[in-house]
Amino acid sequence: MIKPDAVQRGIEGEILRRAAAAGLEIVASERRRLAMAEVEALYHEHRGKPFFKRNAEFIASGELVLCVVEGDGDIVGRVRDFMGDKDPARARKGSIRGDYGVDPARMERNLVHGSSSAKDAEREVALFFGAAGVMRGPRRPPRSRRGSGGSMSKPHRVAEKRRRRRKYLKRAARKRQAVILFLWIVYNVVVKKDLAFDPYPFILMNLVLSCLAAVQAPIIMMSQNRQEEKDRIRAENDYLINLKAEMEIRRLHQKVDLLLEEQIKTLFETQARQLNLLNEIHKKMEKHPSPGSAHQ
């Protein structure tokens, strides 16, 4: 969770960018304002403690960003290390709280919140994103580099070698059959050209090619359908990214306009004060002229 103080300072985009750079995959996110009942359900284990009311009121005071994060290994520990210590003064440099924390006196204003355990993470995801959790497709397993034996266990490596060997033997058997069929056709055309014509090899070749075409046609259609689905999903993701970027740019323009208005207002007030001071100095000089000016 990106808390209201980070959203008010406009650094939620930088936090999300850092999370992606750290290998934390954000599979769902939502920006909204929480009701007090939701906040109390989130921090129910702290109910009755002195800081509970102040913390709950702060979380419900403005908009925040809810995120579901996935990743390899101890994802809870990685997220908490990414956030840093609750006290910004003790948080390590490079963490969110270590780089952006500014108010150690108020611990609730520490920019981000993360689940303390996998059980709490499941509860919080169900609380904010529904009992069914986050709807998403299966995640692809990470690709292992060729030659990196440490990425797979020994049984998996043995099974992978057997699978590759079977695939190689099948490919070699098909090649042998094709070579034999080709030699048989050449033999019938060249060597037995003066004998009776044997149409069997040509019929067999036509049958084999027809079977291959019949098998390849649905495979090609399925691959095209999969590619179309991937293109559609990619287009939707690009649209959402562009929409979010436009919204962020609009918010930045609004902030810049607000800052310019404040600066212009401050400039006008400063100029008005300067004019008033000049008028006062002029009046004083008229009432009490200097001896040199009177002599002239």
Q: What is the band of 203 on the pLDDT scale with cuts at 50, 70, 90?
A: confident
Lowest mean pLDDT, pick from 20-29, 117-126, 129-138, 183-192? 129-138
Residue-level pLDDT at 144: 42
Please compute the mean of the pLDDT values over residues 75-92 and round it to a whole number: 87
pLDDT at 150 over 80: no
Relative to beta strand 63-70, strand 25-33 is: antiparallel
Q: What is the pLDDT of residues 233-273, one digit of tens each?
A: 888 888 888 888 888 898 889 889 889 998 999 999 999 99
Residue-level pLDDT at 88: 79
**Catalytic residue positions, numbered:** 113
pLDDT at 146 over 50: no
Q: How far apart are CA 190 and CA 184, in angstroms?
A: 10
Residue-level pLDDT at 264: 92
Residue-level pLDDT at 29: 86
Fold entry, domain 4-129: Alpha-Beta Plaits (3.30.70)
- So where are the chain's domains? 4-129, 153-231
